[in-house]
Structure formats: C-alpha cells, structure tokens
Amino acid sequence: MQETASTNADMLVLAAEGTPEGLWLRAEAQTGGRGRLDRAWESPPGNLYCSTIVRMRPGEPAPATLALVAAVAVWQAVELVLPGRARIKWPNDIMIGPAKLCGILLERAGDAIIVGIGLNIRAHPDLAERPTTSLWAQGAVEANASNMLEKLSSLFNKLLETWRTYGLDPIRALWLSAAHEPGTPLRINLPDGTAFDSQFYTLDNDGALIVDLPDGTKRAIHAGDVFLL
C-alpha cells in the first residue's frame, strides 16, 4: 500500500477479522508509525515498514520470543547486503556500530502476534540522543524496500518453522552469534525510570537479557531500554 498510519495497527484490525498467519503488509510510508515503549517511529518514504501475523498454537515457546525470531531474520537479511557489519542489541534492535538500523515491535491480540519491522533503507531520523543509520548510508545502495522484504519474509518463515519445530534453543544460538560480544558495556533503563551500567553476558533460555553488574553478580532483564556505552 502507499501510505497508512501504521502497518501494525492495520494488521491488528485484520487479525480481529480472522486473517490467517502468513500475510505481510508493507507501506511506502506511515503517518503514525509506532515504536517500542510508546515512542513514535518516523516513517518517511524509502524505508521498509512491514508487519506480519503469527497465530500462536498450544505448546509453543513464549510469544515474546518471536521478537528474537524477527531480529535474527532481519540480521540475516542485512548480512546479505552488508556482510559482517550488523549486530543485534537486546531485545531486537539491529545496529551498525552504535547506530540503530532497524527496530521491531510486537503487539498481541488474543492468539495473534503482530510482528512489525521498520528497516532504515534510504533515510534515517536525526535523533539527538540515539544515533541511527540506514543501509544506503552504509553503502548498500542496491537495497530497496521490496527486495529487502522478499529476503526478510522468506528468512522469517524458515526461522518461524525452526522455532515451532525445535523451540527457542536454535534461535537463541543464532541470536547470540549475531549479538554483541559478551563484556560489551551497556546502560540499562528500566521501566520504573531507574538506570544502571553493566556488561552484556548472555541471553537466558526464555529470552531475558543477562548482564554482569560491577559487583560481580548477574541480573536478568525482562523489560527495558538498553544502550551501548
């Protein structure tokens, strides 16, 4: 579609109408793009704005872990056009150095999980407190929204099948291989407004971030905003 408020919002409407799993929606631009933690997602033309729907089945891994499936799929798609450059930052940001290239937002309605992906291809917002980048700024000028969605949707579908068949373990292993090195300094902003510095340690078996604290103890983070220091 040309322009919409938010592909996630559109997909939530379709989910309520009974749309089956597997559909992908893409917009050229969004006027009300939604980001994590109630932020807006700037959505000018030239980037990829898309959403898909997964219908949860009994006995599957926790729905929130689909964020890791999506992050690995985007990372693999980016590897095809910019090999060896991107890293995943918990839970599901794709980074090039300190700059954010892609964000992922999961929303839930009953058994439907909407996975929304915003990948900066030609443009990236100028944000004071958060560096951002795009595929074009990094030299991948052959990338466009349509060829990136083609790669991404096919990688996502394969990883979804893996997640369903074998559980979170193989996805966790792929996520860790694409994440920052253990020991990477991180600042954690918790939903209650407190913040602390730590080092990346690992991802636990249910997708929580495990960090090393300066006093040598470990802490699991289930929600929050993570900054590379």
Sites of contact with ligand BTN (CB under 6 A):
6-8, 30, 33-36, 39, 41, 49-51, 93, 103-105, 116-118
Q: Closer to ligand BTN at the Cβ: 74 or 203?
A: 74
Considering the complex, what minimum distance in angstroms separates the CB of residue 50 from ligand BTN?
6
Residue 61 or residue 103: which is nearer to ligand BTN going by CB?
103
Q: How many CB atoms lie within 10 A of CB 85?
A: 17
Q: Please, which residue, 95 or 159, has the CB nearer to ligand BTN? A: 95
Residue 93 C-beta: closest distance to ligand BTN, Å? 6
Quote the least distance from Cβ 167 to ligand BTN, whole Å. Answer: 25
Q: Which residues make Cβ contacts (< 8 Å) with residue 25, sequence separation at least 6?
A: 1, 7, 10, 11, 14, 50, 51, 52
User: Which one-letter amino acid corresponds to residue 111?
Assistant: D
Nearest distance in Å: CB 80, ligand BTN = 20
Closest residue by Cα to residue 117 from 70, 85, 157: 70
Q: For residue 72, give the nearest of 54, 83, 60, 86 by alpha carbon.
A: 86
The residue at minimum Cβ distance from ligand BTN is 103
Cβ of residue 86: shortest distance to ligand BTN, in angstroms? Answer: 14
* 106 versus 212: smaller Cβ distance to ligand BTN: 106
CB of 131 to ligand BTN, least distance (A): 14
Beta-carbon contacts of 66 under 8 Å, excluding residues fewer than 6 positions away, are 54, 106, 113, 115, 160, 163
Contact 147, 119 (CB under 8 A): no
The strand pair at 209-212 and 218-221 is best described as antiparallel
Q: Is 20 helix (H, G, I), strand (E, B) or coil?
A: coil
